[in-house]
Amino acid sequence: RLELLRTGVADLLGLIDLHAVVARLSDLADALVAECLQLAQTQAESSGSSAESRLLVCAFGKLGGQELNYSSDIDLLLLRTEHCPESVAHRLTELLVRHLTQATSEGYLYRVDLRLRPYGRTGPPAPTPDRRARTVSFAHRTALPFPAVSQSAGTRALRRLLKKAQVQGGAAGEE
């Protein structure tokens, strides 16, 4: 709350420009998503999930472009690592979204939109490893920007995935 207040006051007083405002709001969202993901993973591990069960978080839309404003929702695409069973990925997704959206006496953090994943609401919340190339293909085909922001311990794996998709170039959108 303090960081949001600092940004809002600096914005109101004209001490920072629009670019700085949206950058600060985006950085704050990045940190909060990462913290909520860590909390979800800790909770899943305490329930018996493997410590290797991880989600990769990709931000699209205004957060992915580092252009988040005060009322933006956050568009996320979640991918699961090779060692994360679908049931665990589903649980991690539920926990992450709950932490980000749950109303408290102080309000909620963000509205979360997961519909950008392949097959929308009918697809798995975090696609399986063998569907990763298809996930990137989906993003390429629909002209969505590649995620500019990623969180979690799996950031290197996500970067490898995106690099592979870029190497494939135009072929990534063909199936």
User: What is the structure's pLDDT at 53?
Assistant: 74
Q: What angle do CA 86, 40, 148 make, to 5 degrees?
A: 80
Per the model's pLDDT, the better-predicted residue between 40 and 147 turns out to be 40
> Half-sphere exposure of 37 toward its Cβ, with a 13 Å CA cutoff?
24
User: What is the structure's pLDDT at 169?
Assistant: 43
Burial class of residue 14 in the structure, from the number of CB atoms within 10 Å of its CB (0-12 exposed, 13-18 middle, 19+ buried) = exposed
Least confident range from 16-20, 39-43, 95-99, 115-119: namely 115-119
The overall average pLDDT reported for the chain is 76
User: What is the structure's pLDDT at 11?
Assistant: 94
User: What is the structure's pLDDT at 122?
Assistant: 72
- Which of 141, 153, 87 has its CA nearest to residue 116? 141
Averaged pLDDT for residues 134-156: 42
Pairing mode, strands 55-60 and 112-113: unpaired
User: What is the structure's pLDDT at 130?
Assistant: 52
